[in-house]
Amino acid sequence: MSSAQYLELAELAGGFIHELKNHINGLSLNLQLLGEDLDPPQTPRERRAAERVARLTDDCRRLVDLSNDFLRFARVDTPNVVRCDLAELVNRMADFLSPTARIQNVEVVCHAAPDLPAVHLDADLFEKALLNLMLNAQDAMPEGGVLTVQVRPDGHAVTVAVIDTGVGVPADLLPKLFRPFFTTKPGGHGLGLAIARRIVQAHGGEITCHSEPGCGTQFVVRVPTLEPDTQ
């Protein structure tokens, strides 16, 4: 598929999903009003109806979340890149995630090599990719653990490694991790890692995963550095 064909398809899909989301929001609002009419339920029949309304409301929320994730996936095209301090960006995301991670007994540790070479990034997009990887790592440690983010130079690139001490991924599932809508999480959408890969690839980079069941998982993002005459 050519770039022009992809952009046309993405625009059509985006418009369809946006319209669908509007109808889901309308349905959710009416369910909310119905739930208020049944609160508090007066009879066993009303109690059963209130429970069904609550389940449908939750389904609507999940559909809206899925729609938003799909729109993010479809609309990743050309990043608006600027010169970026990757170590600062990574430290900022680690500080952002740390308070909620502590609630799950997950410690976030960040190590950045000194004097990293300059990179060009769309900071907003790259933060979304990194957050998806870090949340994935956090979810892989339901009993707690350590989430380590390492930033270091690697030839003509800089690598960001997101490492967890979680349950690991079976070898037969590794090739499927970045496929849209593939997930091993109950209630997951399967777009987080797909979005992360699209963002990294849009920056001219690559992302790989190494894992061993029971020993944790490591995602490695590699993005090119600036040419010497542009630094």
Concatenate the DSSP letters of all residues of the chain into one string.
--HHHHHHHHHHHHHHHHHHHHHHHHHHHHHHHHHHHTSS--SHHHHHHHHHHHHHHHHHHHHHHHHHHHHHHHT--S---EEE-HHHHHHHHHHHHHHHHHHTTEEEEEEE-SSPPPEEE-HHHHHHHHHHHHHHHHHT-TT-EEEEEEEEEETTEEEEEEEE-S----GGGGGGTTSTT---STT--S-HHHHHHHHHHHTT-EEEEEEETTTEEEEEEEEEPPPGGG-
Q: Domain boundary residue among 42, 74, 106?
A: 74
Over residues 174-198, the mean pLDDT reads 79
Do 126 and 20 share a domain, yes or no? Answer: no
Domain count, the chain: 2
Do 101 and 207 share a domain, yes or no? Answer: yes
User: Which of 53-62, 101-110, 129-138, 146-155 is predicted least confidently?
Assistant: 53-62
Do 91 and 68 share a domain, yes or no? Answer: no
Do 96 and 45 share a domain, yes or no? Answer: no
Q: Domain boundary residue among 32, 57, 74?
A: 74
Write out the residue range of the structural domain in which residue 132 sits: 82-230
Average predicted confidence (pLDDT) for the chain:
84
Task: Express each pLDDT in 39-77 by its tens digit.
Answer: 888 899 999 999 999 999 888 888 887 777 776 666 666
Do 107 and 132 share a domain, yes or no? Answer: yes
Do 61 and 88 share a domain, yes or no? Answer: no
pTM, entire model: 0.71
Do 113 and 203 share a domain, yes or no? Answer: yes
